Structure 1
Amino acid sequence: MTEPTWWPEVLAATLRRRMAAGDLLDHATPTVDGGTLRLQFARPDIAAAWRDSGAQAALEGAMEHCGQVMPVEALAITTQDA
């Protein structure tokens, strides 16, 4: 059997998502409130990158693997919050 021709593209996209998740989580302040994991990002552009990257799926998969299943909510900290 040969490797599918599309495999390198899928592998690269998966690696980008996993690395992006870790890089973006370095900018998050995590708290648990009412059974929900809240990720607070100090910069709106980082919060937007989190939403757009698909990184939340990687986080949720890692959490499930570790036995921590709960909803995840990402928030940008506004100047009123700080």
Structure 2
Amino acid sequence: MTEPFWWPQILAATSLRRQAAGMLLAHATPTVVGGTLRLEFGRADIAAAWRESGSQAALEGAMKAGGMAMPVEVVLAHAAPA
């Protein structure tokens, strides 16, 4: 899957709204699946920090301001089978 074309603009807008959100999003792989923005984090501690920080509200606000209102789902990347 490829990154949405509008992701760089939304990432920049979110970073302006909240520095921590931008730092955490730098660890996410964004994709759009069935109309939902899926943020995949490779580390559980980063995913937990995202959930606890209130950063999702900053992202959703930036998305709404950019005309990209859609649900956001956070998932933890699973290791590929050996």
TM-score, with normalisation over the residues of structure 1?
0.75
Moved beyond 3 Å, runs of 4+: none
> Does 1:79 find its partner at 2:82?
no
What do the CA deviations read for 1:13-71 (whole angstroms, capped 9, x no partner)?
A: xxxx8111000000000000000000000111100100000000000000000000000
Match of 1:48?
48
Match of 1:60?
60
TM-score, with normalisation over the residues of structure 2?
0.75
* 2-structure distance, mates of 1:32, 1:26: 17
Match of 1:14?
none
Match of 1:18?
18
Match of 2:70?
70
Matched residues, number: 65
| Structure of higher CA gyration radius | 1
Residue identity over aligned pairs, in percent, reads: 66
In structure 1, runs of 5+ residues without a counterpart are 1-16
SS of alignment partner, residue 67 of structure 1? coil
